[in-house]
Structure formats: structure tokens, C-alpha cells
Amino acid sequence: MNYDALAKFYDLENADFIHDLDFWVALAKESNGEVLEIGCGTGRVLQQTARAGINITGIDNSEAMLTLARAKLDRKPELAARAKIINADMTNFALDRKFNLIIAPFNTFMHLLTLADQVAFLGCARRHLNSGGRLILDLTNPAPAYADSNESLTLERTFRDDDANLTIQQFATTHVDRTSQLAHILWQYDAIDSQGNVKRTLLPLKLRYTFPAEMSLLLEKCGFRLSHLYGDYNESPLEDESERMVVAAL
């Protein structure tokens, strides 16, 4: 996946996604220390955490994503003073501090397509977590995805690029390879100008589903203990019908 090519679309399409922000900020406040966000992207969660008065470090391997995040912080010096952004690989990073809370919001962990990468990620997280700290991962619950066989082209959302005076329609097709636990997604972005001209961008993506028992074993292998599995940002118990699978580990 070319995350740099995705950056502008990603930032615009997720600008209004706020459903998880109270959850992350509450966790950060409870941690009583600095937070590490793995896969911070364009800074949606990072900014909100800094706005709550909490020091946070974000890492991501897409310089285009981080450029957008830095530009937002540059416009708000009071947030920039509490937020640090680093270009780093989430399977192989070494920072000069440890954290009370490490978070990987909104499917970040699903971008790890092999068990080796998942173990490397968790190993890095373990080495950067203070004793008594928590790791929180937010993934798509695999149960509904495995039950739904619909692979048709679907309009996901419509949003605006006001700077370029464009209306953008985002479509997706998804094929779930249940044996390999991979979702093969093709995102189609149609940018429509004021004259009705359309410029189409196609961006393929793979995400890996992880099941609850598998997650527990992965965490144990890497020195963690699974403490909770939630089905939403209100910390409801995980059920088959839950959209999210929020993993809390110690």
C-alpha cells in the first residue's frame, strides 16, 4: 500500500470521524504519563490528546501523512508543545523513553500482514512500555466480516476538498480471503470538479484479521497479558455482532 498516495484522501475522509476520540483521551488521562501512538497518520487522535493537555509522541512510516500532521500542529503552537512526531517503522523502532500508555487506533494493527510483523510490533511495544502500563489496540471485529460475502462496489462516503473545490466520492470493493485472514480492498476515489469532470484514483490495500484467541496467544508470546476485549468505544463486551474489537493488554 502506498500510504503517501493515500494521505490527502485519508485526512479529508476521516476529518469528521470523532466517535473514538473521547475513548482515547480518557485512557490518556488515566495513564498519568506520556502516551505513544503507533500509526498516528495525519494526527487525528494525536491532536485531540494534546488538546487535553497530555504529552504524546506519534510514530508513522508515511512522511506524507506526517507532513499533514506537522502542518496542523504548526498552526497551533500550544498543541505542538505537547506533541512529538517521528517517522518510524512500527515493527522496528527505538525511542529514548518509555510510556505509561501505548495505543494503536483505528485498524493500525491490521496493517501487519504476517505473524512475524505482528510479533515484531508487539515486541517493540513491550520494550517501550513502563511497568504497569497498558497497550490498547483497535481492530475490526473479524466475525461480521467473515459472515458477509458481499464483494460489490460500494459507496463508502462523500466528502469535500475545499482547497481544490472538489467533491470526492469514495467507493470500495472488498474480498475476504478467509484462509489467509486477509481483506483485499480496492479503494476508488472519484474527484469531481465544478464542471462535473472526474479524476479517478485507485488504491489497493490489504488488512489482516486477528481472532480473539489468536490475539491472546500473540500477546502472551510477547510478554503481555490480555486484560479485556471490548466491542466498542463504550467498553461493551465483545460479541459476534460487534463492529470493533478493542484489545486491552498489560
Are 187 and 116 part of one and the same domain? no
In this predicted structure, what is the pLDDT of residue 1?
62
Are 111 and 37 part of one and the same domain? yes
Name the band, by pLDDT with cuts 50, 70 and 90, for residue 192: very high
**Mean per-residue pLDDT for 163-176?**
95
C-alpha neighbours within 13 Å on the C-beta side of residue 190: 12
35 pLDDT higher than 70 = yes
Find out whether 207 and 96 touch, Cβ atoms under 8 Å.
no
Are 204 and 92 part of one and the same domain? no
**Mean per-residue pLDDT for 232-245?**
97
Find out whether 209 and 183 touch, Cβ atoms under 8 Å.
yes
Are 216 and 204 part of one and the same domain? no
Name the band, by pLDDT with cuts 50, 70 and 90, for residue 150: confident
The tally of domains found in the chain comes to 2
Find out whether 185 and 206 touch, Cβ atoms under 8 Å.
yes
Name the band, by pLDDT with cuts 50, 70 and 90, for residue 187: very high
223 pLDDT higher than 80 = yes
Are 110 and 227 part of one and the same domain? yes
Name the band, by pLDDT with cuts 50, 70 and 90, for residue 16: confident
Least Cα distance to 123 among 218, 245, 28, 228 occurs for: 218
| CA quadruple 8, 10, 11, 15: dihedral, nearest 10 | 150
DSSP state, 238?
A: P
2 pLDDT higher than 90 = no
- pTM of the entire predicted model: 0.95
Residue 169 belongs to domain with CATH number: 2.20.25
Are 118 and 187 part of one and the same domain? no
**Mean per-residue pLDDT for 170-182?**
95
Are 192 and 91 part of one and the same domain? no
Residue 229 belongs to domain with CATH number: 3.40.50.150
Q: Which long-range contacts (CB under 8 A, 24 or more apart) does 162-169 make?
A: 164/191, 165/193, 165/194, 166/191, 166/192, 166/193, 167/191, 167/192, 168/9, 168/12, 168/13, 168/192
In this predicted structure, what is the pLDDT of residue 102?
98
Contact partners, residue 210, CB within 8 Å, separation at least 6: 109, 110, 118, 139, 142, 181, 218, 245
83 pLDDT higher than 70 = yes
Determine the structural domain holding residue 218 and report its residue range.
Answer: 3-141+210-249
